[in-house]
Amino acid sequence: MRLSACLLSSSGNRRHQPAWHAFSPRIAALCRLQTSSSTARNISPGPAIAGNVAAAGEQEWFSFAATAGASYQIETDLQTLDDTMVDLIDTDGHSLLVENDDDDRNPNTYASYIEWTCPASGTYYIMVQGYGSSMGTFGLTLTQGGAGGGGGAGSGDPCNGGITFQGGA
């Protein structure tokens, strides 16, 4: 029987070392971390999906199919996790497109919110983690607006004329 410990390299890749080489509870915890798009769970526009940051520094990864020209809103709902950070990752699974720490729409929350228009159809990734050593549960909601420039007045997309304010005399 060969015992080995799982180590994470600085690039986030897992590698095994003989157990006698280096083993600690911290290494065991690092092996549980989701550290790449290869561990992503699928999410579709609709109701929130549950997530859990069970250890400081842990990342929860999600993937979704996006359509060129469609607008998407990515939003966390804080449950027992008190502060989230969200990254939107390109189709290559590595390149950062957009990031958000605190939702600018509401200064009284540490939830995260991204609004983004897809440049090319494909599978994109969402990475959620706690700020600093924050741990706990959260909800993640993906909402899709108009596609292919069809945002129009009924979609609610302000970039496509979806919200109109009218003044009265």
**Averaged confidence pLDDT in the chain:** 76
Distance, in Å, from the CA atom of 37 to the CA atom of 35, rounded to the nearest integer, reads 7
pLDDT of amino acid 123 = 98
pLDDT at residue 9 tops 70: no
Distance, in Å, from the CA atom of 52 to the CA atom of 58, rounded to the nearest integer, reads 9
Tens digits of residue pLDDT in 108-151 = 999 999 999 999 999 999 999 999 999 999 999 999 985 444 33
> What percentage of the chain exceeds 70 in pLDDT?
64
pLDDT of amino acid 39 = 85
Q: For residues 82-107, give the mean pLDDT.
A: 95
Greatest pairwise CA separation for the chain in angstroms: 84
CATH of domain 35-148: 2.60.120.380
pLDDT of amino acid 146 = 59
- Domain residue spans of the chain: 1-32, 35-148
pLDDT of amino acid 38 = 82
Asked if residue 49 lies in contact with residue 64, where contact means CB atoms within 8 angstroms, the answer is: no
Question: Cα separations (Å) of 94 from 5, 33, 72, 90, 163?
Answer: 26, 16, 19, 7, 34
